[in-house]
Amino acid sequence: MALSPRLELRQSQSLVMTPQLQQAIKMLQLSNLDIAAYVDAELERNPLLERDEDETPPVAGEAQSGGRR
Contact 56, 45 (CB under 8 A): no
Quote the CA–CA distance of 68 and 4 in Å, as a whole number: 71
Q: What would the pLDDT profile of 45-54 be if each residue is shown by its tens digit? A: 999 999 888 7
Helix boundaries (H) for 1-69: 19-28, 32-45
Per residue in 25-38, pLDDT (tens digit) is 999 999 999 999 99
Q: At 33, which amino acid appears?
A: L
For residue 60, what pLDDT band results from cuts at 50, 70 and 90?
A: low
Mean of the per-residue pLDDT values of the chain: 84
Q: pTM value?
A: 0.50
Are 30 and 38 a contacting pair, CB within 8 Å?
A: yes
* pLDDT score at 57: 62
Domain boundaries, the chain: 20-49
